[in-house]
């Protein structure tokens, strides 16, 4: 798709002040922000610099939207004369966010285009999450910094990209197939979507419920032929539930050890194949 056909790109070109964006971002903006246009929402951008992007969001979301800027550089205060509310502060400082949300209350969208360092991106997500309305978004730009050595000291296990991996893990805490207690991430983040250099967290606590298996009660003999670690675990749980007195018996322990070692050997073999697949990725 040509850039000129994208609405956010057209607003970008007409902005009254300087704004610098990667060209791949505009199609993402059109996609993720489409449903919020012309609605009474509160949008926060972290990292406004000269303020050019604030005009983009004002045009895109419409007159009903309240556009707020956050930046550590005092130069951004100049944007107040255009009617934007500007907060000065460090996005990695929890005290800043505490004061910010005490004044602003809940918001609908927060877009992080700030310093791009691991702590900054992670802090914005962590401290903003409790204050995002259901149906809202946390959007983090320039997560390519997670793979840049100079300045950002990445890749590392503390990168924002690896933090996103933890979020994926937390989302899966909602699965009834695993015994994990839900936390604020699994209770608030319904899904996470990735684009080139952009992560989009969709917030909706009403959809973040613990899953449980259901069946349409149609008998399928093929089901009995399925063999996986998941079904071994199910078999073990069925033994516990149906024959409770076997739980701590020698027979039960022998069955459990056999299932465990069989799965462990199978998992080891599968990991070798996965490693081979990784090596062949060009």
Q: Which of 162, 166, 66, 79 is nearest to 118 (CA)?
A: 162
Provide φ and ψ at 153, rounded to 5°. Answer: 55, 40
CA distances (Å), origin 223, targets 37, 177, 219, 241, 272: 47, 17, 9, 20, 27
Percent of the chain surpassing pLDDT 90: 68
Separation CA 193–CA 200 (nearest Å): 5
6-28 exposure pattern, b = at least 16 Cβ within 10 A, e = fewer:
bbbbebbeebeeebebeeebbbb
The 10s digit of each residue's pLDDT in 147-175 is 999 889 999 989 999 999 999 999 999 99
CA distances (Å), origin 219, targets 223, 224, 227, 231, 252: 9, 10, 17, 17, 28
**Which residues span the domain enclosing 258?**
221-279
Listed residues 153, 175, 207: the one ending a domain: 207
The pLDDT score that the predictor gives to residue 216 is: 84
Statement to judge: residues 120 and 229 lie in one domain: no
- Total structural domains within the chain: 2
Q: For residues 210-214, give the mean pLDDT.
A: 90
The 10s digit of each residue's pLDDT in 221-267 is 555 545 455 555 556 566 556 555 555 666 667 766 777 777 778 77
Statement to judge: residues 51 and 96 lie in one domain: yes
Q: For residues 8-37, give the mean pLDDT.
A: 94
Listed residues 180, 207, 234: the one ending a domain: 207
The pLDDT score that the predictor gives to residue 66 is: 97
The pLDDT score that the predictor gives to residue 233 is: 56
Separation CA 206–CA 185 (nearest Å): 13
Separation CA 108–CA 208 (nearest Å): 17
Statement to judge: residues 197 and 235 lie in one domain: no
């Amino acid at each position: 798709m040509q850039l000129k056909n994208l609405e956010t790109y057209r607003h970008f070109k007409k902005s009254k002040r300087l704004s610098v964006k990667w060209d791949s971002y505009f199609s993402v903006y059109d996609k993720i922000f489409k449903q919020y246009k012309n609605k009474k929402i509160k949008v926060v951008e972290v990292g406004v610099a000269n303020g050019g992007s604030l005009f983009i969001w004002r045009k895109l979301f419409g007159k009903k939207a309240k556009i707020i800027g956050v930046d550590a550089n005092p130069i951004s205060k100049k944007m107040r004369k255009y009617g934007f509310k500007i907060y000065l502060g460090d996005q990695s400082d929890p005290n800043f966010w505490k004061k910010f949300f005490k004044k602003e209350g809940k918001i609908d969208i927060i877009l992080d285009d700030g310093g791009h360092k691991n702590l900054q991106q992670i802090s914005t997500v962590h401290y903003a999450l409790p204050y995002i309305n259901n149906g809202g978004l946390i959007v983090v730009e320039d997560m390519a910094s997670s793979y840049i050595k100079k300045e950002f000291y990445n890749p590392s296990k503390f990168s924002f990209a690896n933090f996103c991996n933890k979020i994926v893990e937390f989302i899966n805490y909602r699965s009834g197939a695993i015994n994990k207690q839900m936390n604020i991430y699994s209770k608030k983040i319904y899904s996470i979507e990735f684009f080139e250099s952009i992560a989009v967290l969709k917030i909706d606590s009403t959809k973040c419920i613990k899953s449980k298996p259901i069946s349409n009660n149609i008998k399928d003999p093929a089901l009995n032929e399925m063999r996986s670690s998941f079904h071994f675990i199910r078999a073990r749980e069925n033994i516990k539930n149906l024959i409770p007195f076997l739980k701590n018996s020698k027979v039960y322990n022998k069955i459990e050890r056999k299932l465990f070692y069989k799965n462990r050997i199978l998992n080891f073999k599968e990991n070798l194949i996965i490693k081979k697949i990784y090596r062949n990725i060009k």
